[in-house]
Amino acid sequence: MDIKKQTSVIVQAFHYDLTDGNATPKSDVKPGLRKIDVSEDQEHSEENGSFYDVAVFYDVIPAPGEFEVSGEIHQIVQLVGYHGDGSDISNADWQLLSRPLVEYIETLTYEVTQVTLDQPINLNFKANFDH
């Protein structure tokens, strides 16, 4: 799948909270896709493919449960040669679409934990592609 990025990654929400240290670890990372109507937009044309808002919604408590990060992150892309609603996108293509967003979450978490815990935490998770 040929992906043409239209915007940089947009962090809609990023929440970092310390827990009581006994929180149950979880990795709830879900990608989403919403088709964008550009019919009124003079700058963009769907002739070569439709435009989509790719999103990742996340709520993660890494072991041993010291903190939680949650929020949502987006990027607008054009999927060249594709005009569908997203329901037929393969898991491999979902990974291509969402991986840059997941990497932002990992980077934000690394940087915040470097400051708050005096030790950066590397998250290495994958989004749930069962859409």
CATH value at residue 92:
3.10.420.10
For residue 104, the model assigns a pLDDT of 94
121 part of a folded domain? no
Amino acid at residue number 39: S
83 part of a folded domain? yes
| Domain span including residue 19 | 2-116
- Single out the residue of 54, 9, 53, 59 nearest to residue 29, CA to CA: 59
| Entry pTM | 0.87
87 part of a folded domain? yes
68 part of a folded domain? yes
58 part of a folded domain? yes
- Tell me: the pLDDT tens digits for 38-96? 888 888 888 899 999 999 999 999 989 999 999 999 999 999 999 998 889 998 898 89
Amino acid at residue number 81: G
- Tell me: the pLDDT tens digits for 1-13? 899 999 999 999 9
- Tell me: the pLDDT tens digits for 106-123? 999 999 999 999 999 998
Question: Helix H segments across 1-131?
Answer: 91-116
124 part of a folded domain? no
What's the number of domains the chain is made of?
1
